[in-house]
């Protein structure tokens, strides 16, 4: 296989934060930063890579347009300001990309779009079609319609979930530091740089991370670590790097040891199981006895009613729940065949008794093994 055909198979997700797009003193967009990013992404696309951009900045641009000096604090005000800023942000991107004859597309997503299987598949197909057309998709959370309990929370998480969705090879998280440090180098001058992180190291990695980020952004280093856990567990190599030097993406792809590079786990799960693991929000918990834990964790079995010792939460059939041992340690997550009220009635009983108790013939399994995903080095925080 030639080098060019190898490059054609590479899919990249690049996330840039508000702090990398704006001047820190004023919150105004940095046109030079945008120009540098656009030039880099266009070169990558022209060389055969498939590129998706996840861009923050809509709220910041909206605040600037409306003459506001502080970020909005209420959901409705943020949604209104995002509606003002999103169109202007895309106009700026379109002007820059058009100058290089690179077509772009806007994709606005909510958490619910990735929770419903049909929407998830449709989103995947849209990205795939755009790549085939030579387009660079620019994604953001649809702030104007998202509800608080179903928000991504930050674009670091959104970018990791998109990288999982489109089976990306790389996720680049562009931020205001050149790499991850053992502590915030702006506050701790002796902070130690971290150049590479293995999956085993990431599972236990702890840094003195700022959770708030810049004054105009919503994420800090903690959200980037959470995104790295999501992406690497889905087989996506993840890099934290300085956003004002986007050309370093090309150097990293050539093998240079820049930024902090998180090695991915092997991509062994099916697309459906990756959706269950990362696309769904857990709506409740099931606590299992020791026999059920061993059957699921060690023998790949389905969950039966007899193995459930306790139920927590209010959920419907076909929603996701977390499976825990009696001590509350996460074992797996999956899609249930019964709602929480029904499970309260049939927990701990043998499957053949379910029709008699509920009055109808339902599924023999509470969660079928095809709808179960083991918890492996996930970020539960």
Return averaged pLDDT per consecutive 10 residues of the chain, 381 residues in all.
50 92 78 95 97 90 84 82 89 96 94 84 94 96 60 80 94 91 79 89 70 45 87 93 94 96 85 83 94 94 96 93 95 94 95 92 92 68 37
Residues 337, 255: one domain?
no
Total number of domains in the chain? 2
* pLDDT attached to residue 218: 39
Please report the pLDDT score of residue 144 as a whole number.
Answer: 60
Does 209 reside within a domain? yes
Domain edge (last residue) among 233, 248, 273: 273
pLDDT for the residue numbered 241? 95
Question: Is residue 223 in a domain?
Answer: yes
SS (H, E, C) the chain: CCHHHHHHCCEEEEEECHHHHECCCCCCECHHHHHHHHHHHHHHHHCCCEEEEEECCHHHHHHHHHCCCCCCCCHHHHHHHHHHHHHHHHHHHHHHHHCCCCCEEEEEECHHHHHCHHHHHHHHHHHHHHHHCCCEEEEEECCCCCCHHHCCCCHHHHHHHHHHHCCCCEEEEEECCCCEECECCCCCCCCCEECEECHHHHHHCCCECCCCCCCCCCCCHHHHHHHHHHHHHCCCEEEEEECCCCCHHHHHHCCCCCCEEECCCCCCCCHHHHHHHHHCCEEEEEEECHHHHHHHHHHCCCECHHHEEEEECCCCCCCEEEEECCCCCEEEEEECCCCHHHHHHHCCCCHHHHHHHHCCCCCCCCECHHHEEECCCCCCC
Boundary-marking domain end, from 273, 298, 321: 273
CATH number at residue 329: 2.30.130.10
Does some domain include residue 235? yes
- Domain's final residue, options 254, 273, 292: 273
Which pLDDT does position 133 carry in this prediction? 97
The parent domain of residue 171 ranges over 3-273
Query: What CATH number has the domain bearing residue 120?
Result: 3.40.1160.10
192 and 289, same domain (yes or no)? no
Q: Are 265 and 177 in a shared domain?
A: yes
């Amino acid at each position: 296989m030639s080098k060019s055909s190898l490059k054609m198979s590479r899919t990249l997700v690049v996330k840039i934060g508000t702090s990398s797009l704006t001047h820190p003193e004023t919150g105004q967009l940095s046109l030079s930063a945008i120009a540098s990013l656009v030039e880099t992404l266009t070169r990558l696309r022209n060389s055969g890579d498939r590129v998706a951009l996840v861009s923050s900045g809509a709220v910041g641009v909206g605040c600037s347009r409306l003459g506001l000096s502080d970020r909005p604090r209420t959901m409705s005000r943020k949604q209104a300001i995002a509606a003002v800023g999103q169109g202007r942000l895309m106009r700026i991107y379109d002007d820059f990309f058009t100058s290089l004859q690179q077509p772009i597309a806007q994709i606005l997503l909510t958490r619910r779009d990735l929770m419903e299987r049909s929407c998830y598949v449709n989103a995947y197909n849209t990205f795939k079609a755009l790549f085939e057309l030579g387009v660079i998709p620019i994604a953001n959370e649809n702030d104007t319609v998202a509800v608080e309990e179903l928000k991504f929370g930050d674009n670091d998480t959104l970018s990791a979930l998109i990288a999982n969705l489109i089976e990306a090879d790389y996720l680049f998280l562009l931020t205001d530091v050149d790499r991850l440090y053992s502590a915030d180098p702006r506050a701790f001058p002796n902070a130690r740089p971290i150049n590479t992180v293995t999956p085993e190291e990431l599972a236990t990695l702890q840094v003195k991370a700022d959770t708030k980020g810049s004054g105009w952004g919503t994420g800090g280093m903690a959200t980037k670590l959470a995104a790295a856990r999501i992406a690497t567990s889905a087989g996506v190599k993840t890099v934290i790097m300085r956003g004002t030097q986007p050309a370093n993406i090309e150097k990293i792809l050539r093998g240079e040891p820049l930024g902090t590079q998180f090695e991915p786990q092997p991509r062994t799960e099916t697309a459906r199981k990756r959706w269950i693991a990362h696309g769904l929000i857990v709506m409740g918990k099931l606590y299992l006895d020791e026999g059920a834990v061993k059957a699921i964790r060690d023998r790949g079995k389905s969950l039966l009613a007899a193995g459930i010792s306790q139920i927590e939460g209010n959920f419907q059939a076909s929603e996701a729940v977390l499976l825990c041992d009696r001590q509350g340690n996460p074992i797996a997550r999956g899609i249930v065949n019964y709602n929480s009220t029904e499970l309260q009635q049939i927990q701990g009983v043998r499957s053949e008794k379910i029709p008699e108790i509920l009055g109808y013939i339902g599924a023999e399994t509470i969660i079928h093994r095809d709808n179960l995903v083991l918890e492996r080095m996930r970020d539960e925080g």
